């Protein structure tokens, strides 16, 4: 039997500019197959409430869940910002794998870093800060 739940992602200390690339006014959206989810802006974090279907076999699914290559399920968070020509551009994505969320689906909340180890907007596999 399938069910639906929410995955709550808190992106801690998100940057607002990427000066090395000349990009400002950063925003991070949860990328879906047919749409985007904007975050709730909190003091030190951006919070995403991502709907997730739990398939009969326990796999996550739904419009914001992807599976490629190694068949691990994940959620994309996509960076946008304004370039020097004042145009909105997308430039990086964070991939949060469900197997990074200890105790999923009973544990449905995770905090990840908004920056990489160099202090730039995070990209590639998410850096998990806290679970639960």
Could you tell me the residue ranges of all domains in the chain? 3-131
The rounded mean pLDDT for the chain is: 94
Place of tokens 């739990």: 54
- Among the listed residues 77, 16, 12, the one whose alpha carbon sits nearest the alpha carbon of residue 42: 12
Tokens representing 47? Answer: 């919070």
DSSP label at residue 21: G
With H, G, I as helix, E, B as strand and everything else as coil, classify residue 19: helix
Please give, one letter per residue, the 3-state secondary structure of 72-101: CEEEEEEEEEECCCCCEEEEEEEEEEHHHC
- Is residue 73 within 8 Å of 98, Cβ to Cβ? yes
pLDDT of residue 132: 53
Q: Residues of the chain whose pLDDT is less than 70?
A: 1, 131-132
Each residue of 58-71: b (16+ CB within 10 Å) or e? Answer: eebbbebbbeeeee
pLDDT of residue 1: 66
Residue 113's DSSP bridge partners are: 12
Residue pLDDT, tens place only, 26-60: 999 999 999 999 999 998 899 999 999 999 998 99
């Amino acid at each position: 039997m399938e069910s639906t739940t929410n995955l709550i992602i808190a992106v801690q200390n998100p940057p607002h500019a990427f000066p090395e690339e000349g990009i400002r006014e950063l925003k991070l959206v949860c990328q879906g197959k047919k749409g985007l989810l904007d975050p709730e802006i909190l003091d030190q974090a951006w919070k995403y409430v991502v709907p997730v279907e739990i398939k009969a076999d326990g796999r996550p699914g739904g419009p914001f869940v992807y599976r490629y290559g190694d068949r691990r399920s994940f959620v994309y968070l996509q960076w946008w910002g304004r370039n020097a020509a004042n145009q909105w551009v997308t430039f990086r994505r964070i991939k949060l794998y469900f197997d990074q969320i200890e105790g999923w689906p009973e544990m449905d909340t995770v905090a990840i870093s908004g920056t990489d180890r160099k202090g730039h907007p995070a990209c590639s596999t998410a850096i998990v800060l806290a679970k639960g």
